Structure 1
C-alpha cells in the first residue's frame, strides 16, 4: 500500500513539474511576444522619426526602412519564442530554407510584390503625397510598404494596389513636377471674329496671376468642326494651381464671350414633319 502511494506521489510530482515548467514557458513566451511586439512598434516609430530629421531621406524611404526594421525584430522574437520551448533553431533555419523554396514557388505573386516594393522605393517613381495613376486607378499615395501601395481617392476612398501591378504597369505622376500645362478647347461660331475671340481668351489668362509668363501662353485654331471653330489654349501654372486655373478659366472665358457677343455653338435639332 505504501509502495502504491509512493508511486502515485512520484507520478503526481512529475506531472506537476511538467505543468509548472510548461506554464512558465508559456508565460515567458507570451511575455516575449508582447515585449517584442511593443519593441518592434517603438523601433518603427523611432526609425521614422530619425529618418524624417534627415533632409536626404524622404517619407517614402522612412516608412520602408521602418517596416523592414519592424519585421526583422518580429522575426527575432519568433525565434526566441521557439528557443523558449526547446526548439533547435539551427535545424529550424535549415528546414525553413528548404521549405522556403517550395513556398516561394507557391507564392510567386507575393514575392513579386516584395521585389516590386523594393524597386518602387529605390527608384521612386512616386512618393508619399503624390497624386498618381497606377494600374488603372488614381489617387494620392498614402503608404508604400513591402507588399502594397495605398492610394486615397479625391472622394475619400482607399485603394490598395499590389506592388507587382504598380511596378509592372504604366505609372503617371501628376504632381512630381513643380509646373503643369493646362490645356483648353474653346468653340466659337463660324460667324464670329476669330482674332477677337482669341484676344478675349488671351485677356482672361493675362489677368490671372497664377498663369506663368514663361513658357508663354499659347492660343490657336485647333480645328474646323461641324458647327464650330475650335480654339486650343495652353497655359502653364504651378502644379498646385492646376485645377484652380482650369475651373476659373472655364467660367471666366464663357462670361467674357457673353460680354463680347461671341457665340458658343451647341448642337441644334431640326424637326421635319410631313403632312399626311
Structure 2
C-alpha cells in the first residue's frame, strides 16, 4: 500500500467519522428539543387535569431524566457501541454510585415519600429542616424554600423527611403570640378590656376564635399579659406588627405608667 492509498483510507475514515459526529450532534439537538416538547406536553396535560403542582414538577423531572438517558444510549448505539453492554455498565455504575452516594439516593427516596404522603405542597408556608418559608419546588433530591427575607434555600429531601415538619398553611388560622408588660399600679382588668377592644380593630384578625388577653406571668416590674389575636398565615407578620402597635398605643392612650423595677435598700 503506497502513501497515497493510506491518505485515501484515512481521509475516508475521517470523513465517515466526521459525518457520524455531525449526525450525533444533530440527533442530540433534535432529541433535546423533542424531550423538552414531551415534558411540556405532559405538564400541560396534567395541568388541565388539575394535578397538584408538587407532583407535576416531580414527574416532569423524572420524565426528563429518563428520556435523556434514552437519548444518550441511542447516540452511543449510533456509533456502534453495544447498548446491552452499556446497560450492564450503567447497572454496575449504579451499584457503585449507590454505595458512594447513599445520601443522594436517600434524598431521592425521601422526595418520593414527600410526593406520596404530601405533608406540604408548592405554595405552602412551612418550617422544615430548620428552614422557614414558602415552598417553591419539591425536586428529585432537594426542595426549594423561599425564606421571608427573600432568600432561596435548597434543603435536602432526606433532611426534611427525617426532621419535624411544620405546615402553617394547613389550618385556616394561626395564633399570634405577643406580651404586654404592665406597671404594678395598672388595673389589670381595665388593661385586658382595652386591649381586647383594640385587637378586634386590627385588619385581618379573624372573628373566631376571638382574640385572648390574659395574665401570663409576674415580674418585678408588674404583671405580664399574653396578647393573642388569630389570623390566616398569609397575614401573620402584618397582624404581629400591628399588635405591637396596638399594645403601645392602647397603653399610651390609657395613661398607664411606664413599667419600672424598684429596689428598696435597707441599711442595718
Is 1:44 paired with 2:72?
no
Structure 2 distance, partners of 1:31, 1:48, is 26
Deviations 1:161-189 (Å, cap 9, x if unpaired)? 11121221222222232211122211111
| Residue 8 of structure 1: how far off its partner (Å) | 3.4
CA contact (8 A) 1:189 1:264 kept: yes
**1:85: how far off?**
0.9
Give unpaired runs (5+ residues) of structure 2.
none
Cα distance, 1:138 vs structure 2: 2.0
Match of 1:67 in 2: 61
Task: Give the conservation status (yes or no) of the 8 Å contact 1:200–1:253.
Answer: no
Secondary structure of the 2:176 match is strand
Deviation at 1:264, TM superposition (A): 4.4
C-alpha RMSD over aligned residues: 2.0
Does the CA-based 8 Å contact 2:183-2:260 persist in structure 1? no
Alignment gaps of 5+ in structure 1? none
Structure 2 residue corresponding to 1:238, chosen from 232, 254, 258: 232
CA distance in 2, matches of 1:221, 1:208: 21
Aligned to 1:224: 218
How far has the Cα of 1:86 moved from its partner? 0.5
Structure 1 runs of 4+ with >6 Å offset? none
Q: TM-score, normalised by structure 2?
A: 0.90
Structure 1 segment 98-109 matched on structure 2, within 5 A: 98-109=92-103
Contact map agreement 1:131 1:174 (CA 8 A) in 2? yes
Q: TM-score scaled by structure 1?
A: 0.88
CA contact (8 A) 1:220 1:232 kept: yes
CA displacement, residues 103-155 of structure 1 (integer Å, 9 cap, x when unaligned): 21011011111111111122122221222222222222222211111122222
Alpha carbons of structure 1 residues 266 and 47: separation in structure 2 relative to 1, 3 Å? farther
* Aligned position for 2:111: 117
Residue matched to 2:198? 204
Aligned pair count? 264
1:76 to 70, 73, 89: 70
Change (3 A) 1:58 1:267: farther
1:225-267 Cα distance to aligned partner (Å, 9 max, x none): 1212011132222222222222112102211111111234156
Contact 2:134 2:145 in 1 (8 A): yes
Task: Pick the aligned partner of 2:164 from 157, 170, 175.
Answer: 170
Contact 1:29 1:81 (8 Å CA) reproduced: yes
1:78 shift after superposition: 0.5
Of structures 1 and 2, the larger Rg is shown by: 1
